[in-house]
Chains A and B, each alone.
Chain A
Amino acid sequence: MMSDSPTPPPCSLKALAMLNALGRSNDEIWPRLVSGDQGHLTIRDDIVPDRSLWVGEVPGPLPAIPESLRRFACRNNALTLAALEQIHDTLDDVTAAVGRDRVAVVMGSSTSGVSDAERAIRHQVETGSLAPSFHYEQLEFGGLSRFVAELLDLRGPAYTLSTACSSGARALASARSLLALGLADAVVAGATDTLCGLTTNGFSALQVVSDEITNPCSRNRKGLTLGEGTALFVVTREAGGIQLRGAGESSEAHHMSAPDPSGAGAETAMRAALRDAGLAPDAIAYLNLHGTGTALNDAMECSAIARSFPSPPPCSSTKPLVGHTLGAAGALEAGFCWLMLDAQEDGEIALIPHVYDGDFDPELPPIPLATKGMREPVGPLMSNSFGFGGNNCCLILGKGPA
């Protein structure tokens, strides 16, 4: 957990592209995020039998996967392609500068092409054979990172981390280590997940999906709202700009689908991230909560924050705005921190508000929740991601010295 290694080289999050329920570009997403706009969640009654659920779907059509890569043609990869198109210029410049064999790809996903595989299997149940458009590369987790590598003709290591809801955060932590090791000179890192029947019905069976929009930290919280999205970063060893300054990880040795109620695993990850970044807890200007809105998560996360921070920073969960995007959440929420830092003005950042019914659960240790219009002096920002199987990852982003 504690790293005794020499200070790692700079880790620049040089460019960011995102799609989620709030929009299809950073320019669309940021104003909706900072104003706490919940108007982009929609209701779907065709995913879980006999249930109508709020979901965060990416609106609008997605680009077609090139014909030569049609074995990768699934919604998850189309979302990824839409993000890659936005950072095309940076990718070209970086690849030209370091060489394509020096660019790695580390993606996170917990669904990969499951939604397309579900259609293929339904076709088989109905007709006796898999849908002809189905290829195994759409479903397997490694297909996502290989798709990115083949599309861009990158020849560094390319793999997909799948540690449930910490996948995307973990992809950024691994990207930073690949650069520090010299195994790559640039990394395309991020995560993509797609709404699908398997996860929605699975979480529904676990009784953690709410009928209403998720309401984290409220005494009335009833579970999570699912979403989908992608966030991709170009990560390099350059100084300046917005940096990944720290990462902390832990496992819980507790349960396959429930967090340790003490929050010990979450606390370990946060403390490790602070140590890794060389920061005291009071340096953190804002904390993006895992904040799923389940009874257990919010209780253990608030306890862990209360123990890790003598005086916790303003916090918010962004899941009431975009849904819980599963493995992509860690990358998206790092992306939201990136947008906050990028939009700084006069040495201040506008915080993303915590949107809920305002009825803070008196059973939870009190933590300060960010409200609309709140501003803080620029400082490092923390983002929590906690996954199934007790797999936690906490990241710290901040402005680097120029």
Chain B
Amino acid sequence: MNTTVLRSWAAWSPGREDERAWRAWAARPVALEREGQPEVAFLPALLRRRCSTLTRIMLATGFGCCDAADRANARTVFASRHGNINESISLFERLSRGQPLSPARFSHTVHNAQAGLFSIAAENRLPSSSLAAQDDTFACGFVEALTHLQREPERAVLLVMADIPLDPTFSPLVDEPVAAYGLGLLLANDGDGQKIAFSSAASDAPPAPRAWPEAMEFLRWLIGAEPDLELGSGRVRWSWSRVADGSAQRTGFAAPSTA
């Protein structure tokens, strides 16, 4: 059992861009939209032009849950199941035709492209991880964020989880709730916010069918009142629970802002 403090959060999905919209969704959740991208007006125009949809979502949610100081001074974890695989498909097609690749497009297919762009945009020179873990990606992103809190206990960690719908080339091969979405969580060992306990255990129970991604199920729990949340992939059961602790109530969250 490990405990951590969730200092603030921000989430984005097409048509749901502020706290009020997410509270309404959490009260009556429906499948999330698949098409659209955030404005990211806070980015310089030169950088904005290089941003794919996934990059925009990750930067909007990452910037949205951090103030300027956190943004430059937090360690970061970027979790995405599919990452930039859609961007790679056209490069695979070019390769199969013997055509040359664009160096800039190739550079943006690496899984840590968003981490690199965030580091540039936020002038953040702190350690950063990018990861994937199939349907455990959100939970493992949370685990990796805890490892950064272990490595440097005084420093906050920004966890960003986002995905966009897979290109039709591959989407028939993957059974998952399809959505364009992102969730940013600012985690720390102390400070104001919701104190959360986390643990994992072996499980053979098949995962519950869900109409929205696991990260969004976590958000629904966070906004709501249930004491505990369990998510699982059929291999591992991930458990989160609220720890009642003085002022640590959900009113402590900063309102998400993408400005």
Residues of A bordering B, CB below 8 Å: 1-5, 49, 100-101, 110, 114, 117-118, 121-122, 124-126, 130, 134-137, 139-143, 145-146, 149-150, 155-164, 170, 173-174, 177-178, 180-183, 197-198, 201-203, 205-207, 247, 249-257, 265, 268, 387-391
**Do the beta carbons of A164 and B140 come within 8 Å of each other?**
no
B103 touches A257 (CB 8 A): yes
Are B124 and A136 in contact, with the CB atoms below 8 A? no
Q: Does the CB pair B153–A160 fall under 8 Å?
A: no
Task: Mark each residue of chain B from 84 to 99: 1 if its CB lies under 8 Å from any CB of chain A, else 0.
Answer: 0100110111011110
A179 to B250 Cα, complex, angstroms: 31
CB atoms of B146 and A183 under 8 A apart: yes
- Residue among B123, B131, B133, B147 making CB contact with A178, cutoff 8 Å: B147
Cα–Cα, bound, A250→B125 (Å):
6
Q: Which residue of A lies closest to B154 (CB)?
A: A4
B144 contacts the other chain (Cβ, under 8 Å)? yes
* Chain A residues, Cβ within 8 Å of B119: 251-253, 389-390
- Contact status of A205 and B134, CB under 8 A, knowing A156-B236, A163-B111: no
Say yes or no: B150 contacts A181, CB within 8 Å.
Answer: yes
Taking A145-B133, A202-B101 as known contacts, 11 extra A-B pairs with beta carbons closer than 8 A to each other, sorted by chain A number, are A121-B169, A146-B134, A164-B111, A164-B112, A181-B147, A198-B92, A202-B106, A251-B128, A254-B120, A255-B120, A390-B116
Is B201 an interface position by the 8 A CB rule? yes
Contact present for A125 and B152 (CB under 8 Å): no
CB contacts (< 8 Å) of B169 on chain A: these are: 121, 124, 130
Q: Given A201-B101, A389-B115, A162 and B107 touching (CB < 8 A)?
A: no
Chain B's interface size range is 35 or more
When A143-B134, A162-B112, A257-B107 are in contact, do A121 and B101 touch as well, CB less than 8 Å?
Answer: no
Q: Are A118 and B96 in contact (CB under 8 A)?
A: yes
Q: Flag if A142 contacts B151 (CB, 8 Å).
A: no
Within 8 A of A (CB), among B42-88: 76, 81-83, 85, 88
1/0 per residue B230-248: CB within 8 Å of A? Answer: 0000011000000000000
Complex interface: chain A residues within 8 A of B82 (CB): 140
Q: Do A180 and B125 touch (CB < 8 A)?
A: no
Do B124 and A253 touch (CB < 8 A)? yes
Q: List 16 A-B contacts (CB under 8 A).
A: A1-B127, A2-B152, A3-B153, A125-B96, A135-B173, A136-B174, A140-B85, A141-B132, A159-B140, A160-B131, A201-B101, A203-B106, A205-B106, A251-B125, A256-B117, A388-B110
Instruction: Report the separation of the CA atoms of residues A126 and B148 in the bound assembly, to the nearest whole angstrom.
Output: 46
Interchain CB contact (< 8 A) of A159 among B85, B113, B133: B133
Question: For A143, what are the chain B residues with a Cβ–Cβ distance below 8 Å?
Answer: 134
Known: A3-B151, A118-B96, A389-B116. A157 touches B140 (CB 8 A): yes
Q: Does B186 contact A (CB under 8 A)?
A: no
Q: Determine the distance from Cα of A141 to Cα of B113 in the docked complex, in whole angstroms.
A: 14
Per the bound structure, the CA–CA distance linking A255 and B201 in Å amounts to: 40
Give per-residue flags for B129-150: 1 if the beta carbon is below 8 A from chain A beta carbons, else 0.
1111110110110011011101
Interface hub of B110, B137, B153, B200 (most chain A Cβ within 10 A): B110
A398 to B182, CA, bound (A): 41
Question: Please, which residue of chain B has its CB at the minimum distance from the CB of A174?
Answer: B147
Q: How far is the CB of A100 from chain B (nearest CB, A)?
A: 7
Tell me which of A118, A134, A142 contacts B133 (CB under 8 A).
A142
A158:B107 contact, CB within 8 angstroms: no
**Residues in B whose Cβ lies below 8 Å from that of A390:** 116, 119-120
* Chain A residues positioned under 8 Å from B101 (CB to CB): 198, 201-202, 205
B150 x A163 contact (CB < 8 A): no
CB pair A141–B83 under 8 Å, yes or no, is: yes
* Interface membership of B100, Cβ < 8 A: yes
Q: Name the contact of A206 in the complex, choosing from B96, B106, B108, B201 (C-beta under 8 A).
A: B106
Quick check: A5 and B153 within 8 Å, CB to CB?
A: yes
Cα distance, A232 to B254, chains bound together (Å): 42
